[in-house]
């Protein structure tokens, strides 16, 4: 629409030029009245196209803003659902994964540059908040035990594995006059659901890490640390530098 507006505006300018004599031959054999009328008509059409473009642009901005708000809300709600562990841990993870997938799909409708930047920052923040849910002990994902951080290593033997599967399995039943039902179920979080959470946490909307070009402290910056009584940081950096410069012992 913007292109059409520009075209008709140029036609209006060209028509208006025929209303004045510059001593140059005219391309179109128009008299002044016809040229003035054509210029006015072209200018009116150009104004209509410019108005339509402005309306369309405002509509696109509003749609982008709405998509941004929905995507943010979806991510925040997913984190809240995981923390609630309700109605069951298994269902909480299913619901959270669905919310994250829908939030990502909705974010695909974000078009404005500032909205995309806001989504990137929001996503980065909530990636960090969701990360602890992937650092729990293996029992947590079996639906056993409370939320807790895992150690630095995990070792599960065959007997423990069989015990975990047996402990996380249960039989559910229902009975009423003339109706009964019984079935096997379990409390384990499904693998593909965990993968959805992992993909969200491990991916980034920023193709380049902002820390990629960062460097360590310069000597002048180390002096400023001491001047501002930041002795803990200064001591830590000095220890790092001393450790990195020390030759490896054979």
Contacts of 88 (CB under 8 A, 6+ apart): 143, 187
Query: Is the pTM value of this prediction over 0.75?
Result: no
- Exposure string (b/e) for 48-70, b if CB count within 10 Å is 16 or more? ebbeebeeeeeeeeeebbebbeb
Residue 198 Cα to chain centre, angstroms: 14
Residue whose structure tokens are 């991510």: 75
Angle between helices 89-107 and 32-84 (to 10 degrees): 170
Q: Report d(CA 3, CA 33) in Å as an integer.
A: 27
Q: Report d(CA 121, CA 142) in Å as an integer.
A: 33
- List the beta bridge partners of residue 63: none
Q: Report d(CA 199, CA 7) in Å as an integer.
A: 48
Q: Which pLDDT value is given to residue 147?
A: 82
Per-residue pLDDT of the chain (250 residues; tens, 9 = 90+): 545 445 545 545 555 545 544 444 455 454 455 555 655 665 676 666 566 666 566 778 889 999 999 999 999 999 999 999 999 999 999 999 999 999 999 999 998 899 999 999 999 999 999 999 999 888 899 998 888 767 667 778 888 889 988 988 988 777 788 787 777 788 899 999 999 999 999 887 665 677 777 888 998 999 999 889 999 998 999 898 888 766 555 4
Q: Which pLDDT value is given to residue 40?
A: 62
User: Is-contact 83 116, C-beta < 8 A?
Assistant: no
User: Is-contact 111 118, C-beta < 8 A?
Assistant: no
Phi, psi of 15 (to 5 degrees): -65, -40
């Amino acid at each position: 629409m913007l292109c059409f507006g520009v075209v008709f505006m140029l036609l209006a300018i060209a028509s208006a030029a025929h209303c004045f004599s510059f001593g140059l031959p005219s391309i179109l054999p128009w008299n002044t009245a016809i040229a003035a009328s054509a210029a006015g008509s072209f200018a009116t059409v150009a104004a209509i196209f410019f108005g339509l473009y402005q309306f369309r642009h405002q509509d696109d901005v509003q749609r982008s803003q709405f998509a941004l708000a929905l995507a943010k809300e979806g991510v925040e709600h997913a984190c809240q659902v995981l923390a609630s562990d309700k109605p069951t841990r298994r269902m909480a993870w299913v619901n959270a994964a669905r919310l994250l997938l829908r939030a990502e799909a909705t974010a695909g409708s974000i078009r404005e540059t500032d909205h995309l930047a806001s989504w990137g920052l929001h996503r980065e923040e909530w990636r960090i908040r969701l990360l602890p849910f992937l650092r729990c002990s293996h029992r947590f994902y079996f639906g056993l035990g409370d939320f807790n951080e895992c150690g630095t290593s995990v070792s599960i033997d065959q007997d423990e594995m069989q015990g975990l599967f047996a402990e996380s399995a249960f039989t559910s039943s229902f009975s009423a006059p003339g109706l009964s039902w019984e079935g096997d179920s379990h409390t384990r979080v499904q693998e593909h659901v965990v993968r959805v959470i992992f993909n969200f946490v491990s991916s980034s909307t920023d193709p380049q890490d902002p820390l990629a070009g960062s460097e360590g402290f310069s000597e002048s910056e180390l002096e400023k640390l001491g001047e501002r009584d930041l002795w803990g940081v200064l001591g830590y950096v000095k220890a790092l530098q001393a450790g990195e410069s020390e030759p490896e012992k054979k």
